[in-house]
A and B are shown apart, each in its own frame.
Chain A
């Protein structure tokens, strides 16, 4: 008789997750038991938790270990990604502080949910097992369903959360079904074991391919790859703006990291299976770039336009899986970081440009912004130009790197389509700039003074966009090293 062995628990390896979780629970309790908590205190608590988690993640560089009986992998890549998530979460908290003042919703619970969704993202980035991966994805999704519907009075918000919930749950079912087949064929849910199994001999079972395909569909929904993107514009438009930013940046990032964990298994790049899914993702990427950019061309609502632009970016990003080489993976990680800053920044401007009951929603509402709010207009231009991929911004370096990886892998067609659709994208990004700078305002918008928290969020995002654009080397080195370790 063998007695049950308790696996070694190395809590230090999941310190960032633990700290974030603790912070969330503390805020939950404070909100519950302390009467009339000032919102600023909750914000500060959340920020402290995030910063602590950020630094504790920083101490984990070079760890490269599997923990909790191979459920958790702690490599450099997961650390970089964790830190990017945490920076994003901090920016969203800052934005939410301003936004919640405008709409008076239960702030404590909101922040708790936000932190839990971040926790889900950290779990995804560190998961070495399909089970952990699934739990992470669900933690992110379920908290975001609630957050999307947080403006209880708003019809749009309620409807968006319903759509998000139904399609999110639908896609989860695909994921679970896919995992079921992978589990059945490989007899394990551990990604590392699956990787080594696949590298040994090709299990040519159609069920395995079906499993991976279903998993891809499930994750494709989460990151809004065409043709699974239909929910995105509606949800983006209806959700409270900080949450829209978090869905666009954080949740999309998380979905891509999940894809990285599943589809860049260490030893299988020469596996025949790899070719099959490369072909699949090739089509998805192509379709997403075209549909995303074409859709954005005709939008009148700024959040909807940014939603389509984010879909299009999903297309560029999935190019990295097509090129399926180190360069592609590095480019993907870099672009995700760049994308986080510019997307969050753009949504922060959308928040800052409006006020209670008078949001600037349509693109034409931005007319004359440069005259009335020159700082906001300049920031918006910076983020839009970065999204469009103009130097010297982060978006340029990221895009160049991604397209470069496609060229290196000799997918010239995809790279050319990418470049051409980027050209289309110039048109709709510039349209916003045209409205801001070159047209006079049609109706007057009362200005709401820029709060400290929002200014901070804006300037940090702008700084991120510029620093990554002009001195990308620091992040690049970290990323390059982390991918080599992988």
Chain B
């Protein structure tokens, strides 16, 4: 039986993979993808939490349904926001590529104190 904890562990693993990707990779596209991975890990956690009462196999109250709905709605909003972020992000990366013919963030390093 897969329980809430399984989902949470999976989401933690995904989140860490994403965070490590952001910190270690140098390609802007890969970093953006890693950020998406992190956001989706968070989404997974929210969906799992929203389903939580159903794992307990006790009688479902109307309140539990409301909580579930709340979580699902939030996930949709996060997905929308993530999509907007990617849209803007790709535009910015393309602009950078046009300027310098590279999307390696170590080469794009003019701003220094």
A152 — which chain B residues lie within 8 A by C-beta? 95
Q: What bracket does the count of chain A residues touching chain B fall in? A: 35 or more
Is the beta-carbon distance between A180 and B32 smaller than 8 angstroms? no
Stretch at the interface among A72-80, A297-305, A323-331, A418-426: A297-305
Q: Which residues of B contact A234 (CB under 8 A)?
A: 111
Q: How large is the interface on B (under 10, 10 to 19, 20 to 34, 35 or more residues)?
A: 35 or more
Closest chain A residue, CB of each to CB of B87: A142
Residues of A close to B19: CB separation below 8 A: 170, 173
Q: Which residues of B contact A135 (CB under 8 A)?
A: 77, 81
Q: Is A166 an interface residue (CB 8 A)?
A: yes
User: Chain A residues in contact with chain B, CB under 8 A?
Assistant: 2, 131, 134-135, 138, 142, 145-146, 149, 152, 155-156, 158-163, 165-166, 169-170, 172-174, 176-177, 179-181, 183-184, 187-189, 233-234, 237-238, 295, 298-301, 304
Q: Which of B50-97 contact A (CB under 8 A)?
A: 50, 52, 62, 67, 70-71, 73-74, 77-78, 81, 84-85, 88-89, 91-93, 95-96
Nearest B residue to A190, CB-CB: B70
Residues of B whose CB lies within 8 Å of any CB of A are 11, 15, 18-19, 22, 28, 31-32, 35, 38-39, 41-43, 45-46, 48-50, 52, 62, 67, 70-71, 73-74, 77-78, 81, 84-85, 88-89, 91-93, 95-96, 99-100, 105, 108-111, 113
Q: How far is the CB of B93 from chain A (nearest CB, A)?
A: 7
Q: Which residues of B contact A180 (CB under 8 A)?
A: 11, 42-43, 45-46, 49
Number of A-B contacts (CB under 8 A): 134
Q: Is the interface of A mostly helix, strand, loop or mixed?
A: helix
Query: Which residues of chain A are near B50, meaning CB under 8 Å?
Result: 183
How far apart are the CA atoms of A131 and B109 in the complex, in Å? Answer: 35
Q: 20 other contacts beyond A131-B73, A158-B96, A184-B48, with CB at 8 A cut-off? A: A138-B81, A142-B81, A146-B88, A155-B99, A155-B100, A158-B99, A159-B111, A162-B28, A162-B108, A166-B28, A172-B39, A172-B81, A173-B35, A173-B38, A176-B43, A184-B49, A187-B67, A188-B70, A233-B111, A234-B111
Q: A159-B96, A183-B49 are in contact. Are A145 and B39 (CB under 8 A)?
A: no
Cα of A152 to Cα of B32 in the assembled complex, Å: 20
Given contact pairs A152-B95, A165-B89, A188-B67, A170 touches B22 in the complex (Cβ within 8 A): yes
In the bound complex, residues from chain A placing their C-beta under 8 Å from that of B105 are: 162-163, 166
Q: How far is the CB of A159 from chain B (nearest CB, A)?
A: 5
Q: Residue on A with the closest CB to B37?
A: A173
By a CB distance below 8 angstroms, the chain A residues around B92 are: 145-146, 149, 158, 161-162, 165
